[in-house]
Amino acid sequence: MHWNVTYNDPNRWKEVHAFAGPRLPWCKGIRETVAGRSLGSPKLDLVHITGIPELQALRDGLSERTAINFLRTAEGLIAFTKVRLEVYAIPIHWNEAVSCTQQGDLTVAFERDGHRVELVMRGSKSAEARFRNWFEQAANEFHVSD
């Protein structure tokens, strides 16, 4: 469900992209950014992870904030979070019943192999609104291009 991507190991990236889909071409990334649809999400604070106990255990006891941001791929998203000095990727495919709450706690949830994963995040009201807008655009872009 998650991979340590601190070190640029091509085999590890192949595993991540096997779930989330291939990277978008760089020219599409430029066109999307110019059109106001960035490939990367606003950065938020990761408050809690449900469904990936190993990653949550790494976060337990930390006194500093843990940031999280997402990157669009051709078929999904990759969530990136840093714990101490390590960067972890959580690949998500749109077909995994991906959702983002529209009110209350900002939560991105998905289901893989019968396991529900929830990433609970927090930020300023404007950052949360920008994230929700980014998520909606990313979901719409995927469903339009199906």
* pLDDT (average), residues 7-33: 89
Q: In what order do the strands lie in the sheet with 106-112?
A: 3-4, 86-93, 76-83, 67-72, 44-50, 115-122, 106-112, 99-100
Q: pLDDT higher for 124 or 146?
A: 124
How much is the pLDDT for 120?
Answer: 96
Please give the helix or strand (H or E) that residue 120 lies within, else none.
strand 115-122
What is the rounded average pLDDT for all residues in the chain? 90
CB atoms within 10 A of CB 20: 23
Q: State which residues form the domain around 36.
A: 3-144
DSSP annotation of 36: T
How many distinct structural domains can be found in the chain? 1
pLDDT digits (tens, 9 = 90+) for 47-94: 999 999 999 888 888 777 789 999 999 999 999 999 888 999 999 999
CATH number of the domain that 131 lies in? 2.30.29
Least confident interval from 12-16, 37-41, 96-100? 37-41
Look at residues 17, 138, 111 and name the one whose alpha carbon lies nearest to residue 5. Answer: 17
Distance between first and last Cα of the chain: 25
CB proximity list for 101: less than 8 A, separation 6 or greater: 107, 109
Q: Is 65 helix (H, G, I), strand (E, B) or coil?
A: coil
